Amino acid sequence: MAITAYSAWWFLPFVLPLCFYVAFTDLSRMKITNQTVIVLALVFVVIGPFAMPSFEAYLWRLAQLAIMLGLGILLNGIGAMGAGDAKFIAAAAPYVALGDLRLIMALLAAALLAAFVTHRIARHSALRRLAPHWTSWDQGKKFPMGLALGMALALYLILGALKGA
């Protein structure tokens, strides 16, 4: 892995609760809140200088945020993804080392498949009664991507902490 274990350990205690919260709010309200996305970005801005191997690496990761935000705005504009999803991806981008791009894409694909199947099974089973008022149950073909996005970022940082460079 290109991310250092040192960096991942610095970020993990702050980012993990945010990933869980994003999954919860997207499941329960089909919404990834602006406040959560801002906090996720601010955690990187504040902790990043201590966690990153160099200030140059820190600045490149901030550039990733800007690039992904621009791409997300474009994709949201053409209706390919929700605004909350686009903002979360942008705020999560600085946490991912560019050398791990293939890994994060694979993690995201696996998380998306697992989240989609789990959500659809729960939606049509007795598990739905545990949270009967969740908005995501009644959204037809729409899916709470925050569940998969949060899971992918959390898994990436956990793997980075355990197996990082």
Overall number of domains in the chain: 1
Summarize pLDDT for 92-151 with one digit per residue, the tens. Answer: 999 999 999 999 999 999 999 999 999 999 999 998 889 999 999 999 888 999 999 999
Which distant-in-sequence residues (6+ apart) come within 8 Å of 20 by Cβ?
A: 150, 154
In Å, what is the CA distance from 119 to each residue of 53, 144, 160, 163? Answer: 38, 9, 27, 29
Which pLDDT band, with edges at 50, 70 and 90, does 153 fall under?
A: very high
DSSP class of 79: T
Summarize pLDDT for 51-72 with one digit per residue, the tens. Answer: 999 999 999 999 999 999 999 9
Q: Which domain holds residue 62?
A: 5-163
**Global confidence as pTM:** 0.94
* Beta strands per DSSP E along the chain: none
